[in-house]
Structure 1
């Protein structure tokens, strides 16, 4: 009898998601050339505020993002494989922007839906765009806070 066990697609997907999360969390303004290790050239990235097609556009987006914030970090706290080549990562993004929230840290929870072959070709982020941006603006944030209190 052979010691070789059939591979478990969900375990493989979970391992891939862990490696991706670790590498993504290590990104910063000085190593954006590593995006090509994570994403395919024909990448489609979407979130509540953007739709980005292709690795060059993704690299440009990240370069602009890091140029605007004084701090950006992702803590991954959930790995949910769906099938071979597909899964979800749950995370909390922490960032600081000099013109938002008085320059104090902002935390936004979210989730990423990923599809990949050898690299990620589909990345869809889900998060509350209001908590990320609109609620952090001085006047608009007060109006949104008032509306939220009225709705509860």
Structure 2
């Protein structure tokens, strides 16, 4: 799946940003221990489903998320950085046997991250939770897609 690797870093890119992108491009269900190499002990992590504070809570959250996945991969599409902040544009592909009939689901998203002391101390994800989760459920998915279609007219 990972046929595209983002390596287009300016030479003055901060270490925390370079490490973050490289780890996420190889992060999988089998190597979550890599998270400790990029996240600050006092990380604040926010996504459309949860907010967690501290590395231990974050690691537990990721373990729970990845527990039933057969595949989860990120492709970094673009990075825009300034000072101690960056916007990361990514494509996530995942498989879960109870979602989308066990077929691959692909979701586009963006992360706003901030670095401190060569680690990420703030990470907020922006993504379409309907496309990632709700639309992948048998009955709720049809309803979600119907609501989106009606809202577009």
Partner of 1:23: 23
8 Å Cα contact 1:134-1:141 kept in structure 2 = yes
Alignment match, 1:42:
42
Q: Does the 8 Å contact 1:12/1:84 carry over to 2?
A: no
Matched with 2:112 is: 113
Report how far residue 16 of structure 1 moved: 4.7
Q: Which residues of structure 2 form unaligned runs of 5+?
A: 1-9
Judged with a 3 Å threshold, the aligned counterparts in structure 2 of structure 1 residues 131 and 14 are, in CA distance, closer, same or farther, namely farther
Partner of 1:3: none
Give how far 1:28 is off: 2.3
Report deviation, 1:36. 1.4
Closer/same/farther in 2, CA of residues 128 and 20 from structure 1, 3 Å limit:
same
For the 8 Å contact 1:13–1:86, the answer to whether it is kept is: no
The answer as to 2:150 corresponding to 1:143 is no
Does the CA-based 8 Å contact 2:69-2:94 persist in structure 1?
yes
State the shift of 1:31 in Å: 2.4
Shift of 1:147: 1.6
Which structure: larger Rg?
1
CA RMSD of aligned residues (A): 1.7
Give the structure with the larger helix fraction: 1
C-alpha distance after superposition, 1:30-63 (max 9, x if no partner): 3222211100000000011110111011111111
TM-score by structure 2 length? 0.86
Q: For the residues of structure 2 that align with 1:54 and 1:15, how far apart are their CA atoms? A: 21
Q: More displaced, 18-27 or 54-63?
A: 18-27
Q: Which runs of 5+ in 1 are unaligned?
A: 1-9
Superposed, 1:113-132 pairs within 5 Å as 113-117=112-116, 118-132=118-132
- Alpha-carbon distance change, 14 to 42 in structure 1, aligned in 2, over 3 angstroms: closer
